[in-house]
Amino acid sequence: MRDGGVAVSSSPARRDDAALNEQWARVRARLQAEVGEVEYRTWLKQVALAGVNGDEVTVILPTRFLRDWVNKEYGELIAAFWQAENPDIRHVDIRTQPSRGTAPNLAEPEPASVPAATATVAAATSAPPRSELVAPLDQRFTFDTFVVGKPNEFAYACARRVAESPATPGFNPLFLYGGVGLGKTHLMHAIAWELSTRRQGAGPVSVAYMSAEKFMYRFINALRSQSTLEFKNELRSVDVLMIDDLQFLIGKDNTQEEFFHTFNALVDAGKQIVISADKSPSDLSGLEDRLRTRLGCGMVADLHATTFELRISILEAKASRAGVDVPAKVLEFLARKITSNVRELEGALNRLVAHANLFDRQLTMETAHEVLHDVLKAYDRKVTIQEIQKRVSDHYNIRVAEMSSARRARNIARPRQVAMYLAKQLTSKSLPDIGRHFGDRDHTTVMHAVSRVGELMGQDAAFAEDVELLRRMLES
Ligand code: ADP
Ligand code: MG
C-alpha cells in the first residue's frame, strides 16, 4: 500500500546504508537551496528518511496534511534529487508516521470521508466569500452529541457560553486544551454550528475555523502569491476566529508572528477567538512569550482525561444514537479497556455495531472479543522506550544511564543500538522521538542503528537470536 508514491525511472536496487544517509543529507541540502529557507523550514524540515526497500525510498511526515502537501508540491523535486544522488532509486514513497498499533479502521478518518457541511457558517451577504476560511465542519460535532461529565464540564460550559454570547470579556480568547481525542475539535465545531444559526447586525455571524496547519498553509500560499494583504483582510473581517491544534505553530516563527497580529487586531475589534492546543498556554514551550501571554488572558479550560463513568455515558449515547442494543457488559468491557482516547473508544464501538449490522447478530462478550481482538491486543501490549532500555541494559549487563550517555565503546554502543532498534519496532515513536530518549541523539543516528542492527541480525545468528529473545520478552 503506497500513499502518494512518486515515480522516477531507472534501474534496479542498491543498498548501502551509510551512503544512504549521506545521500539523504545531500538531497535535503539541495531541497533547501531550491525552495529557500522559509519554505524549507515550514514544509520540508520535518521530512524524515524511513528507509529503502529495493528501488524505493520511503520518507515520512508527522501528519497527513503535511504528507499530502509535500507530496503534491515537492514530490517530484524530492524524487528527482534522489535519483540524481542515486540512480537506482526509482520511487519515493511519501507517507505518514504509522499511528499507534491499533487497527487501521480505528485510525482517525481521512478528512475527505467525514460527512462535511461546507461553508454554511460563512458568507455574510456583503463580505467577500469566506468558504476558504471555513474548514468543513463535522455534522456530528454539536453540543447535543457532546456527553458532559466531570472531566469536561468546565470546558463544555465555557464553549456554551462563547456560543451564546461571543466576545464576552473574560471569555476572550477561549483557550481549550487537553490530550488527543478528548473533544477539543468537537467543542469547537459545536460552537461554530451554534453560532451559524445566529445573526449579528445585518447578517449571520461569520466564523472562520481552521487548523493551525491550514492557517500556516494559507499564510505561506499568500506569501508566495504576494497576496498577504488580502489574506489578512479576509481573516480580520470575520466575527469569530477559531484555530484548532495551535501547537502546530511551534517553531513556525513567521506564521506565529502573523497569527499574533491577526489575533490582536481581532481582539481589539471586539471579535471572539477560540483556540485549541494539546497543552496550556504556559506549557506550550516554543511559543513566543507575548503570544503566550495573550493566549492566557481570556478563559483557559482544560479537558481532563476521561473517567470510567464518562466513557460509559459516551458509549451509551453513541450506541443509542446508532440504534443498536449493546449489552451493558460489553460497554463496560470497552470502557475498561480503552481508556486514553474517545476517538478510539468510538472506533471500537463502531466496529462492533458494524459487525452486528452486517451479520444481524446479537452482540455478546464473545463477539466483542472476537471482533476487537487486534485492537485489544494493541492495548495490552504498550511497551515504553524506558522498558526497552531497562530490559536491554539488564540483558547486556550495562547501566541504564549508558543508553543516554555519549560513550561510544562497542560494548555500550551495540546494546544502545539494539534498544533503538527495538524502540522502532515495538513502539510507534518517531525516529526523532526515539533519538530524544537516547541522550538527545539525532534521528539519523537512530536510523543508522535500526539498519545496522537489521544488517547484523542477517549476518550473525546468535546476535539475531538475542534480539528476538529481547523482543519476545518485551512483547509478552
Ligand atoms: P480532540 O480534538 O481533542 O483530539 P475530538 O474532538 O476530535 O478530539 O474528539 C474525538 C472523537 O471523540 C470525536 O469523534 C468526538 O465526537 C468524540 N468525543 C470526544 N469527547 C466526547 C464527548 N464528551 N461526548 C461525545 N463524543 C466525544
Ligand atoms: Mg482535534
CATH number, domain with residue 336: 1.10.8.60
**Same domain flag for 293 and 327:** no
Look at residue 360 in the predicted model and tell me its pLDDT. 78
Yes or no: say if 18 and 452 are a contact pair by the CB < 8 Å rule: no
- Please compute Rg for the chain using Cα positions: 25
Please report how the helices 328-337 and 308-322 are oriented relative to each other, as an axis angle in degrees rounded to 10: 130
Query: Strand 203-204 relative to strand 199-200: parallel, antiparallel, unpaired?
Result: antiparallel
Predicted local confidence at residue 88, as pLDDT: 83
C-alpha grid cell, residue 275? 483556540
Task: Clarify whether residues 144 and 251 are in a common domain.
Answer: yes
* Ligand 1 touching residue 159 (CB < 6 A): no
* pLDDT given for residue 115 in this prediction: 29
- CATH classification at residue 238: 3.40.50.300
Residue 361 belongs to domain spanning: 308-379
Total tally of structural domains belonging to the chain? 4
pLDDT of residue 377: 72
Could you tell me the pLDDT band of residue 309, with boundaries at 50, 70 and 90? very high
Nearest C-alpha neighbor of 431 from the set 415, 444, 414: 444
The answer to whether position 88 is within a domain reads yes
pLDDT recorded at residue 2: 40
Q: Is the pLDDT at 6 greater than 60, yes or no?
A: no
Q: Over the range 442-470, which residues count as b (16 or more CB within 10 Å of their CB) and which as e?
A: ebbbbbbbbbbbbebbeeeeeeeebbeeb
pLDDT at residue number 244: 96
- Cα pseudo-dihedral 162, 165, 169, 173, rounded to 10: 30
pLDDT at 104: 29
> Given 353, 379, 405, which residue is the final one in a domain?
379
Q: Tell me: the pLDDT tens digits for 161-187?
A: 999 999 998 999 999 999 999 999 999
Q: Are residues 215 and 299 in the same domain?
A: yes
Q: Same domain for 340 and 299? A: no
- For position 401, which CATH number holds? 1.10.1750.10
Rounded mean pLDDT of 303-321?
94
For the cut 70, the answer to whether the pLDDT of residue 423 exceeds it is yes
Question: Sign of dihedral through CA atoms 214, 162, 181, 320?
Answer: negative
Average pLDDT along the chain: 83
Residues 213-232 have a mean pLDDT of: 86
pLDDT at 236 exceeding the cut of 60: yes
Ligand 1 in contact with 242 (CB < 6 A)?
Answer: no
For residue 277, the CA-to-ligand 2 centroid distance in Å is: 8
Q: Which ligand is nearest to the CA of 180?
A: 1
**Are residue 281 and residue 343 in the same domain, yes or no?**
no
Task: Note whether 156 and 253 are same-domain residues.
Answer: yes
Residue 344 lies in a domain: yes
Q: Answer for the pair 291, 273: CB distance below 8 angstroms, yes or no.
A: no
Q: How many CA atoms lie within 13 A of 463 on its CB side?
A: 13
Cell numbers at 472, concatenated:
519476545
The predicted pLDDT at position 119 comes to: 26
Q: What integer pLDDT is reported at residue 75 of this predicted model?
A: 86
Q: Which three cell numbers stand for residue 161?
A: 457560553
pLDDT category at 147 given cuts 50, 70, 90 is very high
Q: Inform me whether the pLDDT recorded for 425 exceeds 80.
A: yes
Distance between CA atoms of residues 445 and 451, nearest Å: 10
Q: Which residue has the higher pLDDT, 257 or 132?
A: 257
Question: Is it the case that residue 96 has pLDDT exceeding 70?
Answer: yes
Per-residue model confidence (pLDDT) at position 202: 62
Separation of alpha carbons 181 and 303, rounded Å: 10
Question: With a 6 A CB cut-off, is 146 part of the ligand 1 pocket?
Answer: yes
What confidence score (pLDDT) does residue 21 get? 86
> Could you give the CA distance from residue 264 to residue 271 in angstroms, rounded to a whole number?
10
CATH number of the domain bearing residue 45: 3.30.300.180
Claim to verify: residue 150 and residue 296 sit in the same structural domain: yes
pLDDT for 361: 78
**Comparing 90-99, 226-235, 240-249, which segment has the lowest mean pLDDT?**
90-99
Residue 123 within a domain: no
**What band does 108 get if pLDDT is binned at 50, 70 and 90?**
very low
> Is 195 inside a domain boundary?
yes
- Would you say residue 381 has pLDDT above 90? no
Q: Would the pLDDT of 364 be above 70?
A: yes
> Among 24-28, 41-45, 72-76, 457-461, where is mean pLDDT lowest?
41-45
Cα separation, 351 vs 359, whole angstroms: 12
Query: How confident is the model over 34-59, as pLDDT tens digits?
Result: 777 767 777 788 898 988 888 889 99
Residue 151 CB less than 6 A away from ligand 1: no
The amino acid occupying position 398 is I
Assigned domain for 148 exists: yes
Tell me the average pLDDT across 23-39: 82
The residue from 352, 379, 406 where one domain ends is 379
Q: Is residue 5 part of a domain?
A: no
Range with the poorest average pLDDT among 201-210, 348-357, 373-382, 413-422:
373-382
Lookup result for grid cell 455495531 = 353
Residues 157 and 280 both lie in one domain: yes
Three-class secondary structure of residue 5 per DSSP: strand
Position 98 scores a pLDDT of 65
Both 335 and 419 in one domain: the answer is: no
Residue 106 lies in a domain: no
Mean pLDDT (whole number) for 360-377: 84
Domain end, chosen from 68, 96, 124, is at 96
Residues 150 and 58 reside in one and the same domain: no
Residue 3 lies in a domain: no
Which amino acid belongs to residue 111? P
**Centre of ligand 2 from the C-alpha of residue 178, in Å:** 10
Q: Answer whether 345 contacts ligand 1 (Cβ < 6 A).
A: no
Q: Residue 281: pLDDT above 90?
A: yes
93's grid cell: 514513497
CA of 346 to the centre of ligand 1 (A): 9
What's the pLDDT score for residue 117? 27
| C-alpha grid cell, residue 256 | 506565529
Q: Compare 396 and 85 and report the one with higher pLDDT.
A: 396
Look up the pTM and report it.
0.60
203 or 190: which leads in pLDDT: 190
Comparing 339 with 382, the larger pLDDT belongs to 339
Atom of ligand 1 nearest to the CA of 147: 24
Burial class (CB in 10 A: 0-12, 13-18, 19+), 472: exposed
What is each CA distance from 424 to 16, 283, 433, in whole angstroms? 20, 28, 10
Mutate to test the pocket of ligand 1, among 154, 209, 343 (most ligand atoms within 8 A of CB): 343
Report which protein residue has its CA nearest ligand 1's atom 19.
183
Ligand 1 within 6 A of CB of 183: yes
Instruction: Mark whether 168 and 283 lie in a shared domain.
Output: yes
Residue with more model confidence, 229 or 176 = 176
User: Based on the domain organization, do 182 and 275 belong to the same domain?
Assistant: yes
